[in-house]
Structure 1
């Protein structure tokens, strides 16, 4: 006996260093072509062992192994949380996925740790049965442990994602953390790396900062200027330059982004002010709009009347009218109805050819015709579903922590992944989340180190503000991001099955065996159900091949 234990586990297990493993071994799975399949190997030693080398043997060539790192959570959950969680206590939680270094991993005595195995089935992969063997060895060649997973790859190809999906991309956070100038070549290089990672995980729409997005900013405060549009002001006349915006659009196209959501034209939580806008005035670069600017005042109204026609002409010239979305103001509530209406009326005539989307959860905004494309939160979506709102989107953030899906540290991964099946059931057109890489504190008062502060300085439960970490050369992915990709793959697999057997039969298969229909708040809590259901979907797709 060498005092070394291993267990093969699914991607839905969260392995805590100070807790016994509860989940049973997972040694068999299936996937479609063009899918990304993930699983874990947990390991524990009775003594310190370093270096422990990890070796993979398989006929599949595109396999990546990473270590699941631990990061602190001082604020894991709200005090009135529900019971569908894995922990409520502060401590170290598994989340970032670090590359395995050439020297291997370290086994810490008495602590369960895990490695994350990702199998990329794109490219030249052939259907069939594959064994993936993962061995742990010492430098001497002594084998400490070995686990095997049998993966059946079906001949059907996962179809292209139809869902429009955006994770708000914060350019300023990249510049701040890495210490580079905004839109310098170093900044563009980082942006491209982070966009690439977003796209490979199902993001196909990107928040595009025409002007510095007026999001999560303290009243009177400022975030660093990230403005793609050049503005020159002469008296009451404005001239606009779109060179950086054109580069942004070209970069997005190269990376696989299809849709653009242009930053909000009015401030968050009420649409009362203009966003921060910087212009060249008499040769000097200065701020011309911001918190001091009344949104409905003559100055900003005049600016929009000159800017929006030029912007929309630019979009038409680049044939982007079917791929461009606009925002008014984020998360207005009934107290903001009048001001929001004023803002809508200011821009409506200029943007009649484009969809306007906003995260809001009060049905009255839609009922009054103020927003044609509302994005209600998952826990406020019922009135929109009941009234049959077409082309409906949904979102969640820190407020959706009871019953519905989410991806906080303290929640089980199954609660993250179930969303894909819910999005399919309710035929959602899009999904929005605000935190791809928000590495500031609450209201952007100061920068934070995401490896040390995971709750935006005690503002939101850990896991709300970002799904990637800043690595030395680019993004470090999280297990939550990987599991969310699996949710989107489940959605795509259901779409494929629908193409084979029809929507009614697909829904019947999805809900087969459930005591009550699937909703955003009612769903199986058992990860085994998710894994088993996906197996059933895969086999039904294979069975119904044309």
Structure 2
């Protein structure tokens, strides 16, 4: 997806003779063996369901990737193999396909739920695989969906374009055809400078692909994950100084993922930043803008230390971990030796304005006093480099204990009321009720996508989620196969732990990773319109459209599509 800025056009898509599509109308074409239709990217078409949320037209800007689905319904009582799709039209060089596969979702939820779900336990479409010869198999009396992207590349040609889709059987016989009309407006979006992170789990990459951390083989695989990560809109990356002390049972260990070389010789520490430098040199040219250094104290209160491996008397061994108190003199001495050297490295690399430090993840009220001590220990060594943590208790920020607070969306109100400038939002395994946005497998994709407008309206300067590719059980007792087990062994709601799937030496996208990309694209659209008419008027448009806070919004795909198209038209006027 490109980043291009240019002039705006005063001609609207209505003046071009283009009328917006209304999702939901039955407009599929029926042939002898199949029905086919183009469907909204926010629709989830189940194998056995009728074709709904039909969308025959769309609107985009020159530098936006446009997404929709091609649905083929097999009317026969037997499967159809080796189905082929042919694309026609002047946008065909810009079109890419992916095959959508379904995965199971067990109904496991930590909190309550509401009525804006697709269902409970079931099998739901999510995985997007690259289309290969023979990939399209139409199930008996069932649907098969393809994910269609009109990729911006070096900019889409302005105007109204019709793209045709012809469906052939294994004998090259035409079974059906349909078309989609796309209006490309003569305008472009601007990127809002906000922090967007979804924690990368490096041990999970290694376990899923059989590579060792930060080796040549690792980077070959990691490049594909990083490409999927930035495509989904994320630009800040969790960077493991030491194995991140996240989602690990007390006394347990995850595979070592440590970028800092540590040597302890006669009571004196020395540090090697070679791997860290290589890592940063790899990620910055590939779309990463900000670095969040991994937590220096254990999750949920910071009582203990992360696993740290050092070379002692020529042999590698663990020198800190669960058995180590985070405020012990030994660990204080370690941090007092390590952090000044790290800060010196950061300044030499001229990236101090791109970095932030984590203390502990999700501390509560009872951890406040310890958190004060931990922050003091850290800030005495890192100076003006900011700290960032997911914490939903305003008291932490009020007392000046966190520089960049990240509040869970159901607790963010107090931060907003107090005009916190550096505020980020997050959600995780909850909230799952009161119509809060989230990205569970059995949620409508419109519920996921609405987050973009909500973030903009709230004034939040970014978003955090804990699981880009968490392929472990809850608390990392064992690894899981994300194609089979989507709820971390029953610990979390389905899909909470990941939005991409391992595939050979690469990674498969998902409908949810693409929807997160659209979350941030919607934010950018509103930001772009703000630069033209001012934030006050954009906020008025959002509220007039029915968006209020993080729980009130129209729960309707047609409304969402039309609202975003109107924003694009206003940008292009």
TM range (shorter): over 0.9
Shift of 1:91: 2.1
Alignment match, 1:523: 553
Tell whether 2:400 aligns with 1:381. no
Corresponding position of 1:38? 67
Alignment of 1:154-303 (within 5 A): 154-303=185-334
Select the residue among 339, 342, 348 that pairs with 1:317.
Answer: 348
* 1:118 aligned residue: 149
Do 2:117 and 2:444's aligned partners in 1 also have CA atoms closer than 8 Å? yes
Kindly indicate whether residue 485 of structure 2 is the aligned counterpart of residue 458 of structure 1. no
Question: Structure 2: any 5+ residue segments left out of the alignment?
Answer: 1-30
Which secondary structure state, in structure 1, belongs to the residue aligned with residue 337 of structure 2?
helix
Partner of 1:28: 57
In structure 2, how many angstroms separate the alpha carbons of the residues matched to 1:212 and 1:223?
8
Please name the residue that 1:395 is paired with.
426
Aligned to 1:62: 94
Aligned length: 539
> Partners in 2 of 1:302 and 1:473 — Cα distance?
41
Check whether the contact 1:341–1:370 (CA below 8 A) recurs between aligned residues: yes
Deviation at 1:78, TM superposition (A): 5.2
Alignment match of 2:103 (pick from 71, 79, 83): 71
Per the TM alignment, residue 124 of structure 1 is displaced from its structure 2 partner at its CA by 4.2
What does residue 52 of structure 1 align with? 83
Q: Which residue of 2 aligns with 1:488?
A: 520
Judged with a 3 Å threshold, the aligned counterparts in structure 2 of structure 1 residues 24 and 230 are, in CA distance, closer, same or farther, namely: closer
**RMSD of equivalent CA atoms:** 1.3
Return the offset for 1:342.
1.7
Report the equivalent of 1:16. 46
Tell me, yes or no, if the aligned pair for 1:76 and 1:410 is still in contact at 8 Å: no
1:407 aligns with 2:426: no
Paired residues of 2:56 and 2:180 also in contact (CA < 8 A): yes
Distance 2:478 2:509 in 1: 23
Deviation at 1:135, TM superposition (A): 1.7
Q: Which residue of 1 aligns with 2:160?
A: 129
Worse-superposed segment, 259-268 or 358-367: 358-367
477-486 or 499-508, which deviates more: 499-508
The answer for the alignment partner of 2:17 in structure 1 is none
Instruction: Return closer, same or farther for 1:373/1:77 CA change in 2, 3 Å cut-off.
Output: same
Tell me by how many angstroms 1:506 deviates.
Answer: 1.6
Give 3-state SS (helix, strand or coil) of 1:447's partner.
Answer: coil
Using the TM superposition, name which of 155-164 and 114-123 deviates more: 155-164
Q: CA offsets per residue over residues 245-280 of structure 1, 9 Å max, x none?
A: 000110011211110000001000010001000000
Partner-residue secondary structure (3-state), 1:157:
coil
Q: Counterpart in 2 of 1:369?
A: 400
SS in 2 for 1:332: coil
**Residue 362 of structure 2 corresponds to which residue in structure 1?**
331
Aligned partners of 2:111, 2:524: CA distance in 1, in Å?
A: 36
Does the residue aligned with 2:295 lie in a helix, a strand or coil?
A: coil
Q: Which whole-Å CA distance do the structure 2 matches of 1:348 and 1:449 have between them?
A: 40
1-side partners of 2:360 and 2:217: how far apart? Answer: 31
Gaps of 5+ in 1: none
State the shift of 1:513 in Å: 4.2
Q: CA deviation at 1:72?
A: 1.1
Whole-Å Cα distance in 1 between the matches of residues 54 and 225 of structure 2?
Answer: 34
CA deviation after TM superposition for structure 1 residue 83, in Å: 0.9
Where 1:156 maps in the other structure, the secondary structure is coil
1:484 is displaced (CA, Å) by 1.3
Alignment partner of 2:353: what SS? coil
Q: Deviations over 1:137-174 (max 9, x none)?
A: 11333221212111111121221242210110111101
Partner residue in 2 for 1:479: 511
Structure 1 residue matching 2:187: 3-state secondary structure: strand
Higher alpha-carbon deviation: 123-132 or 428-437: 123-132
* 8 Å contact kept, 1:232–1:281: yes
- Which residue is equivalent to 1:535? 565
Partners of 2:393 and 2:430 lie apart in 1 by: 14
The Cα offsets for residues 100-127 of structure 1, whole Å up to 9 and x where unpaired, read as 2212411111112211101111304321
Counterpart position of 2:136 = 105
Matched, 1:425 2:450: no
Which deviations, in whole Å up to 9, do the C-alpha atoms of 1:81-106 show, x marking residues without a partner? 11111111x22111000122212411
Q: Residues 77 and 274 from structure 1, CA distance in 2 versus in 1: closer, same or farther, beyond 3 angstroms?
A: closer
User: Residues 75 and 460 of structure 1 are in contact (CA less than 8 Å); yes or no, is this contact kept in structure 2?
Assistant: no
Compute the TM-score of the two structures, normalised by the length of structure 2.
Answer: 0.92
8 Å contact kept, 1:421–1:491: yes
Whole-angstrom CA distance in 2 between matches of 1:277 and 1:78: 32
